[in-house]
């Protein structure tokens, strides 16, 4: 007899077992494939999120600990009314970042942008500015911010889309005595690309911008995509339409050129926030940067907050896959054991396993409680828990007690185990094969279906669902429990 004919005869003769085995294998395959699909989608979503958000860190002079910080007394002010003398200090670092340092950092694998600025507050001759909403000291009337940069294309205001170059070109490292201004400011002063702005360098002796004349040529015009809102308070020199970008050489000349050797701070944007530690470590190994002078501050909070739900989903899917595979292997092993060893129905074996299963489930939920995970919505009941070890609780419900749904589930596991024990040892209902398993399934998954309405959504997608994933997965097992109860009188061992 051929193997195919033998298989056909076995399938037709053992229809019940064949259908059960087919159903188990089908459910196993469906869950595994669904889990793999969700896992791959989650991985792709995390990659898209990392690429869209990027990561950021700042490197700046360590003003408190750097041995290169200099503090100079530049003037003294005496108050005749109080008799108090105030000293005015100038603090700077003799070690700063150079354009070569910036280029080296930008060349590190994973770095997307590296930008730096020198801020100067000064007047430009004859330049009419847009008036701010709050008044400033008379000394600063007509002043605006001149931002000295190596490369405007990498500047944070342009890379984030706050500003867009509307005409002309960006400032580059090799430029000298050039500027980029806003299109609005150009129109207000009837300026165009190729025209010149005039300023003067800072004079320490005169305590003002009375030094040699500096002319810069306008090479580009920008448009702001984000301006202050109506009613927002802002000074004239802080208005984004009044800002002037100049090259590093011009910025040094404006400042007097004596103590300004480069940039005291850098802003670095990277492609993938997950590479943050590696990129920072690579930057710190670059030659030519004295790390006794600088410190690093990492800002990865935006990515971590946005990625947390996806990471949780990924962990849940991986856990689900492991559980499905393990449970499926156990079920198949039990079916083999029932056929080859006990020669009893698989439900006969399950009836005797329910107390042990209940204990395992009880321990799992106890672990969830200890880890402050899978908790419920806020409650005013006296037994509400504050899950202070949970980042999710702090983000959503800080200060509010929540349902300890882990304890509720521990209780129904206890009820299911005790019920199965009493049914077996007190009422001897094990003779109705499948009855104990059916009742236990109703207790386990019927109660879980109800408790899911109290639980905080495990993933964001469940927030708008009438029934969440856990409830949908409970329905087939509730129906199986009802079927086992209904057919327990006619089922043979």
Taking the CA atoms of 379, 383, 385 and 386 in sequence, report the sign of the dihedral they define. positive
> Closest Cα to residue 115, out of 162, 67, 183, 65?
162
Residue 445, classed as helix, strand or coil, is helix
DSSP type of residue 263: B
Rounded-to-integer distance, Cα 232 and Cα 361, Å: 57
Residue 352 backbone dihedrals phi, psi, to 5 degrees? -85, -10
Higher pLDDT, 336 or 445: 445
Q: How confident is the model at residue 230 (pLDDT cuts 50, 70, 90)?
A: low
pTM for the model: 0.56
CB 272 within 8 A of CB 52: no
Give per-residue pLDDT as tens, 130-187.
Answer: 888 887 777 778 899 999 998 899 898 898 888 999 999 999 988 999 999 999 999 9
DSSP type of residue 162: S
> pLDDT over 70 for what percent of the chain?
82
pLDDT at site 376: 92
**Poorest-pLDDT segment among 26-35, 38-47, 376-385:** 38-47
Give per-residue pLDDT as tens, 321-335.
Answer: 777 778 778 777 877
Higher pLDDT, 386 or 86: 386
The two three-digit tokens of residue 381, written as one number:
């009941």
Is pLDDT above 60 for 200?
yes
Q: How confident is the model at residue 206 (pLDDT cuts 50, 70, 90)?
A: confident
pLDDT at site 413: 94
E-strand ranges in 300-421 read none
**246 forms bridges with which residues in the sheet?**
148, 179
Residue 180: HSE in the Cβ half-sphere, 13 Å Cα cutoff = 30
The two three-digit tokens of residue 456, written as one number:
């905080």
CB 177 within 8 A of CB 247: yes
The two three-digit tokens of residue 417, written as one number:
């185990």
Question: Mean pLDDT over residues 331-346, rounded?
Answer: 78
Higher pLDDT, 51 or 61: 61
Give per-residue pLDDT as tens, 250-293.
Answer: 888 888 755 556 888 898 988 888 788 899 999 999 998 889 99
Task: Show contacts of 167-170: CB within 8 Å, 24+ apart.
Answer: 167/193, 167/220, 167/221, 168/193, 168/218, 168/219, 168/220, 168/221, 169/219, 169/220, 170/220
Rounded-to-integer distance, Cα 26 and Cα 335, Å: 16
pLDDT at site 19: 66
pLDDT at site 325: 78
pLDDT at site 160: 84
Task: Show contacts of 328-332: CB within 8 Å, 24+ apart.
Answer: 328/24, 328/28, 331/24, 332/24
Count other C-beta atoms under 10 Å from residue 149's C-beta: 27
pLDDT at site 56: 84
């Amino acid at each position: 007899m051929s193997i195919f004919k033998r298989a056909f005869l076995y399938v037709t003769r053992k229809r019940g077992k064949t259908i059960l085995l087919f159903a188990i294998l089908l459910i196993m395959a469906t869950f595994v494939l669904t889990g793999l699909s969700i896992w791959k989608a989650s991985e792709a979503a995390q990659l898209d999120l990392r690429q869209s958000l990027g990561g950021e860190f700042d490197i700046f002079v360590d003003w408190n600990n750097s041995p290169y910080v200099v503090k100079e007394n530049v003037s003294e002010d005496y108050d005749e009314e109080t008799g108090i003398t105030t000293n005015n200090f100038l603090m700077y670092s003799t070690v700063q970042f150079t354009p070569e340092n910036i280029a080296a950092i930008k060349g590190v694998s994973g770095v997307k942008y590296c930008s730096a600025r020198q801020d100067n507050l000064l007047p430009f001759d004859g330049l009419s500015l847009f008036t701010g909403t709050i008044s400033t000291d008379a000394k600063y009337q007509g002043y605006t911010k001149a931002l000295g940069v190596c490369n405007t294309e990498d500047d944070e205001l342009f890379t984030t889309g706050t500003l867009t170059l509307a005409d002309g070109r960006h400032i580059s490292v090799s430029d000298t005595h050039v500027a980029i201004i806003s299109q609005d400011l150009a129109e207000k002063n009837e300026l165009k690309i190729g025209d010149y702005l005039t300023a003067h360098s800072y004079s320490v002796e005169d305590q003002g911008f009375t030094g040699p004349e500096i002319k810069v040529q306008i090479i580009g015009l920008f448009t702001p995509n984000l301006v202050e809102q109506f009613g927002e308070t802002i000074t004239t020199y802080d208005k984004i339409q009044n800002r002037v970008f100049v090259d590093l050489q011009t910025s040094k000349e404006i400042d007097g050129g004596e103590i300004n050797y480069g940039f005291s701070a850098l802003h670095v944007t990277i492609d993938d926030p997950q590479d943050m530690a590696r990129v920072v470590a690579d930057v710190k190994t670059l030659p030519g940067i004295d790390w006794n002078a600088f410190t690093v501050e990492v800002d990865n909070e935006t990515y971590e907050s946005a990625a947390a739900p996806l990471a949780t989903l990924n962990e849940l899917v991986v856990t689900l896959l492991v559980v499905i595979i393990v449970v499926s292997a156990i079920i198949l092993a039990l079916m083999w054991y029932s056929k080859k060893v006990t020669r009893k129905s698989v439900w006969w074996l399950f009836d005797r396993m329910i107390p042990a299963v209940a204990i395992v489930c009880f321990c799992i939920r106890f672990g969830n409680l200890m880890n402050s995970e899978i908790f419920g919505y806020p409650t005013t009941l006296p037994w509400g828990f504050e899950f202070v070890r949970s980042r999710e609780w702090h983000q959503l419900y800080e200060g509010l007690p929540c349902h300890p749904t882990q304890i509720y589930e521990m209780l129904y596991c206890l009820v299911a185990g005790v019920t199965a024990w009493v049914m077996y040892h007190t009422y001897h209902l094990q003779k109705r094969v499948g009855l104990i398993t059916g009742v236990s399934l109703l207790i386990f998954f019927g109660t879980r279906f109800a408790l899911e309405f109290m639980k905080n959504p495990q993933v964001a997608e469940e927030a708008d669902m009438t029934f969440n994933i856990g409830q949908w997965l409970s329905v087939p097992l509730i129906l199986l429990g009802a079927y086992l109860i209904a057919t327990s009188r006619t089922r043979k061992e």
